[in-house]
Structures are given as structure tokens and as C-alpha cells.
Structure 1
């Protein structure tokens, strides 16, 4: 993944008792589900106009109202997530729409576009064109802001002192 140092990765492997490739796949599946959860939470924050437990900035009569379970399918297989709800029932999730159960490829598109420096409005147009998702630039900013700490950690990771390089010249 490149987001962790070798020590952190080894600790993760020991902690999760990863032995086989299937074990690693299951661990990635869990990480993916957590990322989708954070994206849904960011989307609800955008919809309500305030973050969870930030009642000082609440300027609406609507509020959070629990969560509902949902099973989704992605590149990592099937997993169960919980979709946050609002009290007035106005929240329409965009990342994982109501009645949508397949999210294959969406997560890669958002991260890839963000990594290439694409603006939030261009990401919005791209998601609309490819997936029919209507998302606001504010929601995209909120989602990417939750991912930024992981990106910064990866960018500032210590590099190895030596890398193996193979150069082939075919004439």
C-alpha cells in the first residue's frame, strides 16, 4: 500500500495474523469498508452542514438518526457497511446510493483523480458522466479532506536507502 512504514506493516501483519494471500485480501476488504464508512460520514456532514458532535455549528432542525446495515460488493468481495441516516429522511447517499449494492471501481476513480490533481468540479463532472452520481464539490472536498492525512503520511514515509533497479535494453 505504501501508506505505512515497514514496522507498521509488520505490526499490522502480526496483529491480524496474516499468513496467506487470502488473509491479506480480507484485511484489505476491512480497510476498504472503513474508507467507505468515512466517505458516507463525510457526505452526511456535508448534507447536515455540521460534523458529528459539533452542535455549536448546527444551523438546521435536521440531525443524525442512527444507521442502517447494507451489504455491498466491490473488488474486495462482499462486505457489510452501515449507512448513516438523518431524522427527516432527506439524506440521499451518493457514494453508495439507496438500493445500490455494487461499488466496484468508484473508490479507485475518486482517489486516482484526486492524486492527479483534478479539481473538485472536474471530479464532480467525471463521476456524473461515468456513474451518474450527482455530488457537490463541497462533498468531494469533505471526502478528500478525510483521506488527506493518509496521503500525507504516505508522502512523508521514510524511503529505503537502496532500491533494486533492472534496466533492459533491447536492440
Structure 2
């Protein structure tokens, strides 16, 4: 009987020390928080989005030796592009109507990461999302960088849904800041 308890104790201890490893699959679908306006444009507006970032955006390692790799499951370029286009329409712009050559909004996703470090048994996660934009209308060009960062603390491995929610909030905040930039608005109104 003592051997069974001893074996059970060692087995449970080994399981706790080994931690667990999993994979979080998330979708990045930012939603810009833009108030409707009645802005207008004279030129057609073209929005393009690119990135060199792959679908693995980071990993989590907790103080309890839990681990999760984080991958995106959707085309983040397409979802960011859709969010910007929807935001411009909400502002009142009619993207497919106007004179040529078009005003161009070229967006590059420069940062999308979820990294962690362990401080005692507390896990500190740093989330980053960044965009570079170049807007060209006629002879004028405007370049800007938009980046957001968020820090989360937790003791155990966060759920996949929590990681997705946090990353989407950060991406939404970044896209919203891009769409609120008055220099971009002025160029697109030409």
C-alpha cells in the first residue's frame, strides 16, 4: 500500500514538473472604433496591405512550466485591409468613385508579437502590433508609423480565447489610430 502511494505521489509530482504544452490558434480580425462622418473624396482610393510576418506570432511559457505556441489561422493582411477599408467607408469616403490616378494607402504590418517572461511564478506577457503607412495623393506623400503595446500578467496559461481577445484589441486600437490621423484624412479628401 505504501508503494502505491509513493508511486502515485511521484507520478503526480512528475506531471506537475513537466508542465503542459499546447498550441493556441487565433484569428486576428481588428475592428476600428470610428464614428461615422460625412467626409468625401475626389480621387479613387486604393488600400493595399502587406507583411513579411509569418503565422507564428509568439509563444507563452509560464512559471509553472506550461507552454503554448501561438499561430494565426487567418490571412492577417486581408483582415487588416478589410478593417481599414470599412473604417474609411464609415468616415464617408467612397473608395471606388472619383478621378484617377487614385490616392494610395499602402499599409505594412511591421509587428505582431506575443512574448512572455517569468518573474518568480508570475508570467508577464508583452503584446505588440505595428503598422507603417504611406499615403500618396497627387504629388503629396505622407508616411507614418502606428504601434501599440499591451502588458498582461497571469499565473497560469491563459486560454486561447483570452489571447485572441487581447491581440484583437491591440490590432483594433492600432488601426483606429491610423484612421484618426488627420494628415491621412486631409490627403484622402483631395
Report which of the two has the higher share of strand.
2
Q: TM-score, normalised by structure 2?
A: 0.27
Q: TM-score, normalised by structure 1?
A: 0.29
Report which of the two has the higher share of helix.
1
Q: Which one has the largest radius of gyration?
A: 2
